Structures are given as C-alpha cells and as structure tokens.
C-alpha cells in the first residue's frame, strides 16, 4: 500500500469521527506486520480527558485484532492542513514498533517522518 493510499484510508476513517466538542475530525490508519490495515477516528467525551485520539483507536483496533507489531501509521484531518500525532500517541506507536508516520504536507502530498525523528529516545528500552 502506498503512503497516499494509507492517507486516503485515514481520511475516510475521519468521516466517522465523534468530534462533538473540538470539531476537529481526525483519522488514522496503521499497517500491521501481517500487512492488514486498521483505521480509527477520534472519539471525544464530555469529560474531555476521556477523549480517544484517532491513532489510539486505530492502534487498539490493530492490537485487538491480533497484531503485535505495526509498521507504518498515517494521521490526517479534513479540518487542518497538517496534523502531527500528539505525544501520547507517539508513545503508543513506539510500543508497537511503528517505524514511520505519514502525514499530509502543505500541498496535500504525503510527507513522512521516522518515529525516531518524532520521538527520539522513546521509553521502550527497559522492556
């Protein structure tokens, strides 16, 4: 699957976001070690801190489907030109060995960063 296709899957997922409070719809897609793709969207809550990020939902979807390692993750919002994963989601990605994160560049083109660039020295080494 190309980066563009993965971003398109994440964008499609964002249409089902429950972004009642922020109005910021976010979609994510991850590729598991099996090659399967799992998507998620943000799920907000009146108790704001109970909100789930799109990446958390996509990663949960993958892991609860039996994946134990992930390769590439994509995150996108139809409401924001360029969205980077939050710090907690970077850590969630590190837990499952995500190598690369694809985002939408300023002109709509896929741009990717390694997770090491986004989260240098992640807290996983003690495991």
- Catalytic sites, residue numbers: 55
> How many chain residues are in contact with ligand THU, going by CB under 6 A?
14
Number of other residues whose CB lies within 10 A of the CB of residue 80? 12
H or E element at residue 54: helix 54-64
Q: Does 93 interact with ligand THU (rule: CB under 6 A)?
A: no
> How far apart are CB 127 and ligand THU at their closest, in Å?
23
Can you tell me which of 3, 8, 16, 51 binds ligand THU, judged by CB under 6 A? Answer: 51
Q: How far is CA 28 from CA 83, 105, 121, 124, in A?
A: 11, 15, 23, 22
User: Which residues would be at the binding site for ligand THU (CB under 6 A)?
Assistant: 19, 22, 24, 26, 42, 44, 51, 53-55, 75, 85-86, 89
């Amino acid at each position: 699957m190309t980066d563009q296709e993965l971003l398109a899957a994440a964008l499609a997922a964002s249409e089902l976001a429950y972004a009642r409070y922020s109005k910021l719809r976010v979609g994510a897609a991850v590729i598991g070690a099996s090659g399967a793709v799992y998507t998620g969207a943000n799920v907000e809550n009146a108790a704001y801190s109970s909100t789930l990020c799109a990446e958390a939902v996509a990663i949960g979807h993958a892991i609860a489907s039996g994946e134990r390692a992930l390769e590439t993750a994509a995150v996108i919002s139809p409401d924001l030109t360029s969205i980077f994963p939050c710090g907690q989601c970077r850590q969630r990605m590190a837990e499952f060995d995500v190598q690369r994160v694809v985002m939408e560049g300023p002109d709509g083109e896929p741009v990717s960063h390694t997770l090491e660039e986004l989260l240098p020295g992640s807290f996983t080494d003690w495991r």
